[in-house]
Structure 1
Amino acid sequence: MTEQTWFIIAIVIYLAIMLAIGWWGYRQTSQYDDYVLGGRGLPPFVAALSAGASDMSGWLLMGLPGALFLTGMSEAWMAIGLLIGAWANWKFVAPRLRAYTEVAQNSITVPSFFENRLRDKSRALRILSAVIIIFFFTFYVASGMVSGGRYFEATFDGNYLTGMLVVAAITIIYTFVGGFLAVSYTDVVQGLIMLVSLLVVPIMGLIALDNPGDIFSFAADNPYASYTEDDLNTTYFSMFAGVSAAVIIGNLAWGLGYFGQPHIIVRFMALRSPSEAKAGRFWGVSWMALALLGGLMTALVSTVYFAQNDAAVTDQVNFETVFLDLSRILFHPLIAGLVLTAVLAAIMSTMSSQLLVVSSSLIEDLYKIVAKTKPSERTLLLLSRGAVLVVALIALALSINPNDSILGLVGFAWAGFGAAFGPIVLASLYWKRLNSAGAIAGMATGAVVSIGWGMSPLSDLMYEIVPGIIASTVVMIIVTLATKPPQQEIVDEFDEAVTLAERKTPVRAAAEPAATEPKTIS
């Protein structure tokens, strides 16, 4: 059989597993809360790998190895920032958010939590949050579909549109049918595929080298990639050479974005109990550290392997195909095909998580506000699935003729969410004095500053998340202190959430005596 045939067999196996998990998720989903948040019953291992897989898209397997391969260790600052940010997110946000979202009227989306936490009777905070989510994630999903089409072009020499439609269709089906559980458990499979691939490929590449120790010196002393004898990359192993302090700070600041990413922190809300955030942190950070190490080692091995074996990297501009090319060379086509599904897994896991978050915001944060009567569980389930389909179709329309404006949005969408939501999430969990006026002002400021900065020449000086977070935080504090303090019941609820976050029993069980009198917005 030809290489392409083996690749197709591998992809079919992978896609069949995704659909099977989607069907399983459908069988487990009978209530609206199950579809949106899995009934708050996610084990820490599942929550951790789901958060990691939905976070790390194709950048982990293509962008990071390519940047490290071409430029050197100075590109590692972003990975370091992300690892620190992920640890801090699990440590400081996960347990309190898990407790507080249930205490605050069983909030099942980030916008509904903001409104319930701060008793915003104007609904402005919830609507603004939902609009930000819907806008950014619709284009984010479109970029994932574009990546899927490009993946099929590069891997199978196929048609872009056909590849995009296949990736989109499978992702839409299991998200549409299985909801949160299907998305979370497919993320686990996808996360494991990504991790195993990122570890196996550089290990096999290292074994194939005549002298494995060369990876720690070769790139700085020899021509490779686009470098020549007269123009060597002598600073390859330096983390500081040719990089300004502003760039280092900006790259490290990627980690700050974690606090405001809806598709990641919603996994914290779905944990079985706040105490399980500790186990989630262990699994999540361990997975991420090993995956990032795999990306680093792939780059180091590739600098030697491609130069010494007279092999060519397909992408001769950004060299983002070193992982894919190394996989094809080292393994039997069937195994290589299974390894190559890691890139597809990264794309689909991120896209499915974003689809579900957008669907949840459309129904929970917009439709339920304007609905004149309380919808039934069946109606909410149907509407949520319909919202997934509508958003996906819009994203598909945007992806048919890909252009830089769509792909460019991904670069500052992370900053937009981090600046708009990050400070508000942290303040909601750790500052009693926060009020709705301060949250609205800070959120709007963070979004506007990060987007404006990202679209200006200033983005070349520093990543827009830094000024966005600073502006959001300053405005949030000033407006909060200049307006009325929160009512006593809000302060009391804050204390209750903090207490419950430190308990080892599930929040639902701890709060059971008060369940007969649900809180209402006053």
Structure 2
Amino acid sequence: MSDLTFQTIAIAIYMAAMLGIGYIAYRRTNNIDDYMLADRGLKPWVAALSAGASDMSGWLLMGLPGAIYLGGMHESWIGIGLLVGAWLNWKFVAPRLRSYTAISQNAITIPSFFEKRLKDSKHLLRIACAVIILVFFTFYVSSGMVAAGKFFEASFGWQYLAGMGFVAVITLLYTLFGGFLGASLTDMVQGVLMVIALIAVPIVAVTRIGDPSTLATRITDVNPEAFNLFSSFTENGAGVALLAIISAAAWGLGYFGQPHIIVRFMALRTPGEAKVARRIGVGWMLVSTIGAVLTALIGIAYFADEPLDKASSETVFLLLSQVFFHPLIAGLVLAAVLAAIMSTMSSQLIVCSSALVEDLYNITGRKASPKALVMLGRAGVLLVAIVAALLALNPNSSILDLVAFAWAGFGAAFGPIVLLSLYWRKLTAVGGFAGMVSGAVVVFIWGNIDALTGALYEIVPGFIVALVVAIVVSKATHRPNPTIDAEFSEMEAEVGSKVTA
């Protein structure tokens, strides 16, 4: 059989497995709580691996290796910032959010948690959250479709649109029917597949190319600054370089506000299981990030004679896997890339669905049966996917740019409000609304002005503005509320950690 046939068989096996898991989850989905939050029954390792897989997406296997291949190790500040942010998120947000969402009238989405936590009877927070989710997740899902099109174009010679459409349809099928449980179970499998691939490619490459010292010499021959984390200081000057490092490391701020990640915290069986999940999730992330960095550096040495251009740099992981493995194994490695892409898309589609049904439809006061709500949720998934596909029609779109914009939007709009909700009992509904909207607006404006974006990543000003506005407005509008105080104290008691009011 030809190489292409072997790889196609491997991809087909993977796709069939994902659809099978989606069907199993479909059989276990009976109501909207099952569809949106798996009835708060995720085991720690499922929550940890699904959070990691839904987080990293095609960025880990395509965006990050491509950036490091072109620019060297100074591009890895993004990965460093993300590692720190992920640890802080699991440590300080996960247990409190799991506890508080259950205490606040069993909130099953982030928008509904904000509304119930802050007692917003006018639904302003919920509506604003839902709109922000739909806007920024449409860009995020679009980045996954772009990655899918580039994947099949580079690996199988397909037309960009054909590859994009194929992955979109498969992801839609298991997300439409499996819901949150289907997305989480497939994410867990995909997370395992991703980390195996990221370990295997650099190990096999080193054994095939030569010993590590020889490989390092070849890398520095091509790019003398390849291993220098601070190379931008000599290239661009201290001021510009410092801003660049702050911008890259600031990706870690985004974790506190990513709905598709923190919803895994809400689905844990108990707040105490966040500790085990943190160790698994951050360990998985550390190994995966190191693998992605090493793969990019090896690519610098291997393609020294015929360097990849900027457009194809994001496929360096795909190309190396095809060079160093038997076609069937290479197909399974390629499936890991699909895993990264599809896991993130499915999780994001579920959150969009919850925004449309739980956070917009339900507040209209209309009554619907549990089955009807699930069908509405599936219709929401389909609608968002169609809009995202239209945005992804341009094959020249940058995966990293699309992800960066959406990541900043959520991090700045939701991150400060999540932290204040969990650690400051005097946050008000008006303050939360003002902070959230101001953060989203700053990101949207800043992110669309090249001169500003080039100087500083939009999440930094957006996060700061949202935090300051939320605090100032809350101080001006705070009134004692016994119910809020009682729920906040109950949450503190459950997680076993006291903070000052």
Question: What pairs up with 1:81-160 in 2 under 5 angstroms?
Answer: 81-160=81-160
- Alpha-carbon distance change, 406 to 292 in structure 1, aligned in 2, over 3 angstroms: closer
Q: Which amino acid aligns with 1:378?
A: K
Letter in 1 for 2:440: A
* Aligned match of 1:171: 171
2 CA distance for matches of 1:12 and 1:343? 14
> Is 1:288 equivalent to 2:285 in the alignment?
yes
Q: How does 1:287-326 map to 2 (within 5 A)?
A: 287-307=284-304, 312=306, 315=309, 317=311, 319-326=313-320
State which drifts further: 60-69 or 130-139: 60-69
Q: Is the 8 A contact 1:49 1:283 kept in 2?
A: yes
How far, CA to CA, are the matches of 2:248 and 2:227 in structure 1? 17
- 1:420 is matched with which residue: 413, 420, 423? 413
Give, in whole Å, the separation in 2 of the partners of 1:9 and 1:58: 22
- State the TM-score, normalizing by the size of structure 2: 0.94
Find the aligned partners of 1:408 and 1:240 in 2 and give their Cα distance.
Answer: 22
* CA shift digits 1:450-498 (9 cap, x unpaired): 1211112111111111111111111111111111334121111101011
- How far did residue 301 of structure 1 move? 2.5
**Cα distance in 1 between the residues matched to 2:54 and 2:378:** 20
- 1:502 is aligned to 496
Task: Give the counterpart of 1:451 among 444, 452, 465.
Answer: 444
Partner of 1:389: 382
The answer to whether the 8 A contact 2:65-2:293 is kept is yes
The SS at the match of 1:121 is: coil
Deviations 1:114-171 (A, max 9, x none): 0000001111011000000011112322232222122111111112222222111110
Q: Give the structure-1-normalised TM-score.
A: 0.90
- Taking a change above 3 Å as real, the CA distance of residues 290 and 187 of structure 1, as seen in their structure-2 partners, is same
Q: Assess if the C-alpha contact under 8 Å between 1:195 and 1:290 holds in 2.
A: yes
Residues in 2 aligned to 1:486 and 1:5: alpha-carbon distance in whole angstroms: 68
- Secondary structure of the residue that 1:455 maps to in structure 2? coil
Q: Distance in 2 between matches of 1:148 and 1:460?
A: 27
Match of 1:506 in 2: none
Mapping of residues 251-400 of structure 1, within 5 Å:
251-307=248-304, 312=306, 315=309, 317=311, 319-372=313-366, 374-400=367-393
Alignment map for 1:179-190 (pairs within 5 Å):
179-190=179-190
Do 2:115 and 2:123's aligned partners in 1 also have CA atoms closer than 8 Å?
A: yes
Q: In 1, Cα distance between the equivalents of 2:266 and 2:71?
A: 39
Which range moves more in the overlay, 159-168 or 440-449? 159-168
Equivalence for 2:212? 212
Post-superposition shift, 1:317?
A: 4.8
Counterpart residue identity of residue 287, structure 1: W
Count of residue pairs brought into register by the alignment: 489
Which SS does the other structure have where 1:449 is aligned? helix
Q: Is the 8 A contact 1:215 1:300 kept in 2?
A: no
For residues 322 and 401 of structure 1, do their structure 2 counterparts lie closer, same or farther at Cα, with a shift above 3 Å needed? closer
Give distance in 2, aligned partners of 1:368 and 1:405.
36
Question: Shift of residue 404 of structure 1?
Answer: 4.2
Cα 1:395–1:300 shift into 2, 3 Å: closer
Amino acid at match of 1:253: A
Which 5+ residue runs of structure 2 have no aligned equivalent?
Answer: 234-240
Counterpart of 1:363 in structure 2: which amino acid?
A: V
Report the Cα offset of residue 406 of structure 1.
Answer: 9.6
The 3 A distance-change label for structure 1 pair 70 and 10 is same
| CA-CA distance at 1:62 after TM superposition | 1.6
Distance 1:400 1:73, change over 3 A: closer
Task: Give the letter for the 1:437 counterpart.
Answer: V
Task: Tell me how far 1:393 sits from its aligned partner.
Answer: 2.5
Instruction: State the 1:69 CA deviation.
Output: 2.3
Alpha-carbon separation, structure 2, partners of 1:101 and 1:282: 22
Percent identity at matched positions?
A: 57
State the SS of the aligned residue for 2:231. Answer: coil
How far apart are the structure 2 equivalents of 1:272 and 1:130?
26
One-letter amino acid matched to 1:442: G
CA 1:326–1:386: 2 relative to 1, 3 Å: same
Q: CA shift at 1:266, angstroms?
A: 0.3
Contact 1:442 1:472 in 2 (8 A): yes
> Is the CA contact (8 Å cut-off) linking 2:321 and 2:333 kept in structure 1?
yes
The alpha-carbon deviation at position 315 of structure 1 amounts to 4.6
* Residues 1:397 and 1:412: Cα distance change in structure 2 (over 3 Å): closer
Name the structure 2 match of 1:469.
463
Deviation per CA, 1:430-453: give whole Å up to 9, x if none.
001111111011001111111211
> Judging changes above 3 Å, is the alpha-carbon distance between structure 1 residues 297 and 401 closer, same or farther for their aligned structure 2 residues?
closer
Q: Do 2:219 and 2:298's aligned partners in 1 also have CA atoms closer than 8 Å?
A: no
Look up the SS of the partner of 2:374 in the other structure. helix
CA separation in 2, counterparts of 1:65 and 1:395? 24
Match of 2:228 among 238, 244, 248: 238
Q: Which residue of 1 aligns with 2:26?
A: 26
Whether the 8 Å contact between 1:416 and 1:450 is mirrored in structure 2 is yes
Quote the Cα distance in structure 2 between the aligned partners of 1:323 and 1:150: 12
The answer to whether the 8 A contact 1:275-1:502 is kept is no
- The RMSD of aligned alpha carbons is 1.7
- Judging changes above 3 Å, is the alpha-carbon distance between structure 1 residues 400 and 217 closer, same or farther for their aligned structure 2 residues? closer
CA 1:347/1:406 → structure 2, altered by over 3 Å: closer, same or farther? Answer: closer
Structure 2: distance between partners of 1:404 and 1:71: 19
- The alpha-carbon deviation at position 318 of structure 1 amounts to 5.7
One-letter code aligned to 1:341: A
Q: Deviations over 1:171-222 (max 9, x none)?
A: 00100111111100100111111100000000001111233223344322x1
Report the AA paired with residue 28 of structure 2: Q
Aligned residue type for 2:383: V
Identify the structure with the greater helix proportion: 2
1:320-379 per-position Cα deviation (integer Å, ceiling 9, x unaligned): 22211111111111111110111111111111011000000100000000133x322122
Distance of 2:37 and 2:352 partners within structure 1: 13
SS in 2 for 1:321: helix
| Contact 1:313 1:322 survives alignment (8 Å) | no
Contact 1:52 1:288 in 2 (8 A): yes
